[in-house]
Amino acid sequence: MADSLNTESNIVVGCGISGAVIANLIATKFNEKVIIIEKKSHIAGSCFDYRDNNGICIHKYGSHIFHTNSEIVWDYLSQFTKFNNYKHKVIAIVDGIETNIPFNFNSLYQVFPKNIALKLQNKLIENYGQDSKIPILELKKEKDKDLNFLADFIYKKIFLEYTKKQWGIPPEKIDSTVTARVPIYICKDNRYFHDKYQGIPINGYTELIKKMISHPNITVKLNTDYKNVKLKYKRLFYTGSIDEFFDYKYGKLPYRSLRFEFEEYNYAYYQKSAVVNYTTSEDFTRIHEYKYYLNDKSDKTVIVKEYSENFEEGKNERYYPIVNEENLSLYNKYLEEAKHIKNLWFFGRLGDYKYYDIDKAIIRAINLIKTIQ
């Protein structure tokens, strides 16, 4: 039998970063009551982390690295946490050679002889300018034979097989907003992100979100499926999948999911970086080693092998919307349906059917509250 909650509160479905920000802003800026409905047994959604028996902070659902150029987002989060100075660097294994990802000038010298690397470096600067970046699919259009050779190498050795493993389809069938996230850097900066503000919350993401929702106006109900709860609400903010909300009346939106295999080892470190991508070899896409993020000290280490797979309801979780023209057309049908329901807002990665970095999810929530206000 469904639970019954007699309330005129604001209802937020989902206690990930998007839902937590909305709840915090309503509680503080509007001084109104908020009930957060969360299906999982914990807060923080896919950002959930915890300390294991070895004292290592584990990201349960894969690595989450905070980075932003937005001072608004940085100042907002700084109310609830301090950040360390972690700068994310990723290594890829290419034909047995460790090289930096995204591909940059250092990568050139790691995989090519010095004279060839220097020639390619000079041509990249000449054509695109120092400290710029270019998506691999753009570089593939180059007429210059040397740059075309480089593009072909990077595409086949680093981008193609990894992308096929991650998405299950060729890169050309993936929306450009996704492929543009994998650029080539025209510089020697090995940082994966070049944003002004970067780091990991010093007490973890779960503690950050816990502080965000620790307010007298906010109530959290865990282990609760919104479908099983009858609610009267002032406003409803839904971060779950929009097609599920409407009982899939127009069909199901496709997603990619992830599977994580945890392994523990009796030595200090397993690999040279927090994340190592396996671009052509192995069935998994990458290995995470969490000790690096908060510089945890332990004689043991924990790694996670990440496998990409299609989302299947009841088997795994939705992670990445598969954005293309057909799927966006289906999403827009649901969005049009939502316009007929008063005081209902969809947002977040699943509600907007859009991949968000953490800072972009926060900006989306902040702007949504401004619109309502």
10-residue mean pLDDT profile of the chain (373 residues): values are: 59 98 98 97 98 98 98 98 97 92 96 97 97 89 94 89 87 70 89 96 98 98 93 94 97 98 97 94 94 98 98 96 94 97 97 96 98 91
315 three-state secondary structure: coil
My answer on whether 139 and 10 are in the same domain is no
My answer on whether 239 and 174 are in the same domain is no
My answer on whether 31 and 145 are in the same domain is no
Q: Does 262 reside within a domain? A: no
My answer on whether 169 and 230 are in the same domain is no
Give the range of the structural domain holding residue 337, as residue numbers without chain letter: 3-43+213-253+322-372
Do 295 and 256 form a contact (C-beta atoms < 8 A)? no
| Alpha carbons 56 and 36: distance in angstroms, whole number | 29
Number of domains in the chain: 2
My answer on whether 242 and 333 are in the same domain is yes
Supply the pLDDT for residue 7: 63
Q: Does 137 reside within a domain? A: yes
Residues in contact with 13: Cβ distance below 8 Å, sequence separation at least 6, in sequence order: 19, 36, 37, 226, 236, 237, 238, 239, 240
Do 61 and 258 form a contact (C-beta atoms < 8 A)? yes
My answer on whether 17 and 134 are in the same domain is no
Angle of helix 358-372 relative to helix 17-25, nearest 10 degrees, comes to 30
Supply the pLDDT for residue 4: 44
My answer on whether 109 and 183 are in the same domain is yes
Supply the pLDDT for residue 280: 85
Tokens of 320: 């990445």
Q: What is this structure's pTM?
A: 0.93
Q: Does 97 reside within a domain? A: no
Supply the pLDDT for residue 1: 30
My answer on whether 234 and 365 are in the same domain is yes
Q: What is the DSSP letter of 201?
A: B
Tell me the Cα Rg of the chain.
22
Do 359 and 70 form a contact (C-beta atoms < 8 A)? yes
Domain at 26, CATH number: 3.40.50.720
Supply the pLDDT for residue 269: 98
